Amino acid sequence: MHGLHFSRAPIIEAIINLEVALPESAHDPVRSLGSLVSPEYPEAKDVVEMTAEMRPGQEPQGSFKSATIGVMYRSTAVPQLFQSRINGFSFHRLAPYESWEPFRDEAKRLWNLYRSATGVHLVKQYAVRYINRLEIPAGQELSKFFQTYPEVAKGLPQTLSGYLMRLEMPLNDSPGGALVLQENLVPSDKQGMVGVLLDIEFRYPVKQGTSDEDLWSLIESVREVKNRTFVDCLTSRMQEMIL
């Protein structure tokens, strides 16, 4: 299925994410990538992580904390960006998405810079994620376009003005791996249409001692399964609409 191609490709964001283990002292190496990529990625913005803590009692109290965990670098010439964080690295290609090869190659190039700057030697998890936006006629049944969708009990109103579905499925052929599938309605700027976001993410743990070469071979292997999963989520009618 490597040759899978839709002329009206609905991909609005493709992501390769690598979760790592770095000490908190790695902030400076994480930020040092700016000087290496500034010609291609001149825009830099801090990545902030928010955490909440709730304390039970007669009057429950909570507190929020924020911490800067890295930097996001954005290209002004090409619709893409990457994040260099103390807990990982991610590369994001935005629409218009070209194809797998340039997406993978740029992710790998930037990962090599991140790895050299931080000295990371332990990758805990890798993920490949594709977010698709599909347009369907308003008021029609989801079952005409999607193989995976929320089914409403017959005694309830059948028209949806919005929905959010999230499914997490273990991958039996890959211990510890998971498919996370999310689907939700979004507004459309096209008359008589609604948008549906179909978000497909594959997550896999990385065995200790896995070489960088083997890691990227594993990432490459996800290409086939993510293509197959995307097609399996659509009816033939929906596939014809984006051919």
Three-state DSSP class for residue 11: strand
What is the reported pLDDT for 55? 72
DSSP-assigned states of every residue in 130-191: EEEEEEEETTS-GGGTBSS-PPPPTTS----S--EEEEEEE-TTSTT-EEEEEEEEE--SST
Kindly tell me if the per-residue pLDDT of 1 is higher than 50. no
d(CA 68, CA 20): 16
pTM: predicted TM-score of the whole model, two decimal places: 0.91
pLDDT in tens, 22-32: 877 778 888 89
d(CA 132, CA 182): 10
Kindly tell me if the per-residue pLDDT of 37 is higher than 80. yes
The β-bridge relationship of strands 61-74 and 164-170 is unpaired
What is the reported pLDDT for 217? 97
Kindly tell me if the per-residue pLDDT of 209 is higher than 50. yes
Average pLDDT over residues 183-197: 96
Under the banding of pLDDT at 50, 70 and 90, the label for residue 4 is: low
